[in-house]
């Protein structure tokens, strides 16, 4: 089985590698794309088992060359641009929309059947006025460049003539875990707490919008869903990957603070407020549970503890400079 993982050196890619190698009963030839060498720290212990390819997915020629060389049977398309999305709309569209179409066209040109899992986002739904979990039947109302690009990608992909490609789309909600960068809210809180505990920062934790309600679950549950979708998901279908549980950002902060013995002050930072922040975005996982038997298994309190312990270790090892 030949597998290609785009964005393999990112946060989710490292967990997907672990899931594939530890659970597969067949021989795997795994290839992955990356953009810069710095990202490869996440997958350093897998480098001997995988073949890496530098590739800018927005460049059709580079994508064609990689796909032609690898001849994949399966493609997990994780590569995307989310950080800084609001600042560079054209680049986001080039990566998230054009890049995806480049990959699918290259797979189509192989003249063999290829299964492709495309990772979209629960943010395509927008905010729920009724404060109910979104199902796949709900009409997307994306807010912000990142969500808009993912919904545009979905529409173009499902309308494309790709007879050789079996496409499954996941709409994952907020997944987190150790190794996620502090551009995201859970590691942003955890890193600051670890720095305060280590005496490397004043006892003030800076926050953005604490009122938003989200759907959080563990990245290790996310990659279980992805491998299940790859093996059993229906081609042309969209599946939510979610916890179904609403949690306010303030509650996440409170849970993390209870894991620390330090007295920590909270201060809101306007620079951490996002212009397109959604008030309520929670997903239903009924479809993937009913069709494939997936459900989140890891208690989110354990996830939060794992993330905080990860940052404590990072700070203690001086890997992260304040």
pTM of the model: 0.94
Residues 168 and 187 in one domain: no
User: Which CATH number fits the domain that encloses residue 148?
Assistant: 3.40.50.720
- Its domain, for residue 30, covers 2-175+215-241
Residues 204 and 66 in one domain: no
Residues 251 and 140 in one domain: no
CB atoms within 10 A of CB 110: 16
- pLDDT tens series, the chain, 322 aa: 999 999 999 999 999 999 999 877 778 999 999 987 766 777 888 888 999 999 999 999 999 999 999 999 999 999 999 866 556 889 999 999 999 999 999 999 998 999 999 999 999 999 988 889 999 999 999 998 999 999 999 999 999 999 999 999 999 999 999 999 999 999 999 999 999 999 999 999 999 999 999 999 999 999 999 999 999 999 999 999 999 999 999 999 999 999 999 999 999 988 776 655 789 999 999 999 999 999 999 999 999 999 999 999 999 987 554 4
User: Which CATH number fits the domain that encloses residue 255?
Assistant: 3.90.25.10
The alpha carbon of 85 is separated from its chain's Cα centroid by a whole number of angstroms, namely 14
Q: Does residue 288 form part of some domain? A: no
Instruction: Look up tokens 């020629």; give the residue.
Output: 61
The alpha carbon of 311 is separated from its chain's Cα centroid by a whole number of angstroms, namely 19
Per the structure, the count of domains in the chain is 2
Residues 67 and 204 in one domain: no
Residues 115 and 52 in one domain: yes
Q: How far apart are CA 46 and CA 38, in angstroms?
A: 15
Q: Does residue 170 form part of some domain? A: yes
Residues 169 and 59 in one domain: yes
């Amino acid at each position: 089985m030949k597998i290609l993982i785009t964005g393999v050196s990112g946060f989710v890619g490292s967990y997907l590698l672990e899931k594939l190698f530890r659970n597969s009963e067949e021989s795997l030839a795994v290839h992955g794309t990356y953009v810069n060498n710095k990202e490869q720290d996440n997958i350093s212990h897998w480098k001997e088992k995988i073949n890496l390819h530098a590739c800018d997915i927005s460049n059709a020629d580079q994508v064609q060359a990689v796909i032609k060389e690898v001849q994949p049977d399966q493609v997990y398309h994780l590569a995307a641009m989310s950080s800084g999305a609001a600042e560079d709309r054209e680049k986001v569209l080039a990566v998230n929309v054009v890049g995806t179409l480049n990959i699918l066209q290259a797979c189509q040109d192989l003249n063999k059947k290829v299964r492709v899992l495309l990772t979209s986002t629960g943010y395509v739904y927008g905010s729920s006025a009724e404060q109910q979990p979104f199902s796949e039947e709900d009409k997307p109302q994306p807010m912000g460049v990142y969500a808009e690009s993912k919904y545009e990608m979905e529409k173009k992909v499902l309308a494309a003539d790709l007879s050789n490609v079996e496409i499954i789309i996941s709409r994952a909600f907020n997944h987190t875990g150790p190794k996620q960068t502090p551009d995201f809210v859970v590691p942003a809180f955890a890193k600051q707490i670890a720095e305060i505990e280590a005496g490397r920062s004043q006892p003030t934790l800076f926050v953005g919008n604490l009122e938003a309600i989200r759907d959080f679950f563990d990245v290790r549950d996310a990659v279980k869903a992805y491998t299940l979708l790859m093996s059993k998901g229906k081609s042309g279908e969209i599946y939510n990957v979610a916890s179904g549980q609403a949690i306010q950002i303030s509650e996440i902060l409170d849970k993390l603070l209870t894991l620390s013995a330090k007295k920590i002050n909270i201060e809101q930072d306007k620079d951490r407020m996002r212009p397109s922040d959604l008030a309520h975005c929670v997903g239903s996982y009924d479809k993937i549970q009913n069709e494939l038997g997936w459900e989140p298994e890891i208690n989110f309190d354990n996830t939060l503890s794992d993330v905080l312990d990860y940052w404590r270790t990072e700070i203690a090892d001086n890997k992260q400079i304040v």
